[in-house]
Amino acid sequence: MALAETNRVTLFVDAAAQGSAEAQYNLGYLYENGDGVAKDYVEAAKWYGMAAAQGDHDAQNNLGVLYERGLGVVQNFDDAARWYRLAAEQGNALSQYNLGLLYLQGTGVEQDDVTAAQWLLKAAEHGDPAAQYSVADLYFNGQGVRQDYDAASKWLNRAAAAEPA
């Protein structure tokens, strides 16, 4: 590990130990991605959990992902939905999208096309291209919304115009 990476990790550990949610989130991210440290989903979940408990919506989303996929934690769709909801209610577009998908599938929540459409639309309005495509599909099929080919076309065009990540 390079000296700069060691120093970065040390700084994050020190700040996280003092209760910094941002540093806790950053440590979770480093461990999840093996960036400057060995990839370790258990450690990622630990640090994301600390930041999430302090209301960090990015950590809440990422913790939801770990629960949904069973990475570093026992797979639990109820917990995934709970963390996604907390972040989604704070305006986190990725969590709004993830929660919308859970409602479409009935995974961790009761299947509900209308609620799915509401969350997906929020994420789409925030500019998330995957959510925009999903909303287009909902309008095309009349799933959770009134069938509307014009709206489907609008959302599909927005998704297609999105800049690649």
> Can you list the domains of the chain with their CATH numbers?
1-90 (1.25.40.10), 113-165 (no CATH)
Quick one: average pLDDT of 7-14? 88
Question: How many Cα atoms within 13 Å fall on the side-chain side of residue 16?
Answer: 23
CA distance 1 to 34: 11
Q: Which residue has the higher pLDDT, 6 or 22?
A: 22
Query: What pLDDT digit, counting tens, does each position of 92-149 carry?
Result: 999 999 999 999 999 999 999 999 999 999 999 999 999 999 999 999 999 999 999 9
Quick one: average pLDDT of 1-18? 79
Query: What pLDDT digit, counting tens, does each position of 62-99 carry?
Result: 999 999 999 999 999 999 999 999 999 999 999 999 99
C-alpha distances in Å from residue 165, one per residue of 5, 51, 128, 162: 25, 25, 11, 9
pTM, to two decimals:
0.91
Name the residue type at position 10.
Answer: T
| 163: confidence class by pLDDT, cuts 50, 70, 90 | low
Q: Which residue has the higher pLDDT, 1 or 61?
A: 61
C-alpha distances in Å from residue 117, one per residue of 23, 32, 96, 148, 155: 34, 30, 10, 13, 13
| 165: confidence class by pLDDT, cuts 50, 70, 90 | low
| 6: confidence class by pLDDT, cuts 50, 70, 90 | low
